[in-house]
Amino acid sequence: MKLIFELWGEHPDIPRAEISCLGRVIDHRVQVAIADIPDPESVQRLAYTHRVMKYLGECDANEESLVRMLTDLSLTSDLPFCGRVKKMEGSEMSLSTTQMERFIGTHIEGPVSVSAPDRIFRAIASGDRIFFGEVLWELDRGPYHERKPGNREFFHPGVMMPRMIRCLVNLANAMPGETVLDPFCGTGGTQIEAELIGCNVVGTDADPFMIQGTRLNLPGSKAAIADVRYLPFPDNSIDHVVSDLPYGQSVFIIGSALEELYQSALGEILRVTKPGMRSVIVTHRDIRTLVSEYFTICEYFEQRVHRSLTRRILVITH
């Protein structure tokens, strides 16, 4: 099914890349993407998508093209509907959102209800294009907020937020029934997000305190104390690794320098994962040269967290 995705604006590329776990991205502009999705219901697992619309049409970003598209579509609705518009930064459309909404309302036959519509037709003006569709889902951020680290039974500072972790799981193309491993599981955030979309999840950590915390946050979880240099899994037994690699002097490393730890971890991740499957690792310095010795880097993103911290997100395969 051809869908329009209205994206959150926290990062220029990550929200679009996340959609690729569900289907083929056909086109994209600022905060909007068009994709062919075999299972439309699966879009509800996305973390960085705001709304999803059934694709109805698109046109150049000018008044004449908008009117022509709406006329050609010749839409009717038996249910009360409204037309809404979002203009992204840099849109070339000169009309205001109010003017565009008026055009939508007058070119669709049926009862209009601005306050309580049963159907919402939405136009997104981005760059040189206008994308037009009917809203199917508005994805709720609320559950992610409820799962934020401070609300868990066990808390440790410096961990990633649930939406970011869910996005990493999606970037790995992890599907229900597949096995996801986090060899630096910390407080269990990866296990929580991957389990919610139906994955089998395993977490290991060298720090017993963290494993105790993971078990508090996710009772019944598969979590075990293990040195990442000697992971207790057979060769090619894991579908995906999703992990935030440690950094800094306070990390529990078992007598290993950080560079040596990275090398050992990459070697073990290579050993236990299945060839051809995607994994995602996050670091806080650029180790692409090192990672390239073990894996093919499919995608690379940088996300600035604050002045002294930038996340490097590597999507890898072998």
The pTM (predicted TM-score) of the whole model is 0.94
pLDDT for 308 = 83
pLDDT for 23 = 97
pLDDT for 249 = 47
85, 107, 105: which is closest to 97 by C-alpha?
Answer: 85
Q: What would you report as the CA-atom Rg of the chain, rounded to the nearest whole angstrom?
A: 22
* Dist CA 23 CA 12 (whole Å): 19
Domains of the chain are 2-138 (3.30.2130.30), 152-317 (3.40.50.150)
- Reply yes or no on whether the pLDDT at 80 is more than 70: yes
- 161 by Cβ neighbours in 10 Å (0-12 / 13-18 / 19+) ranks as middle
pLDDT for 248 = 59
Task: Report how far apart, in Å, the C-alpha atoms of 182 and of each of 2, 30, 134 are.
Answer: 34, 32, 38
* Average pLDDT value for the chain: 95
- Reply yes or no on whether the pLDDT at 264 is more than 80: yes
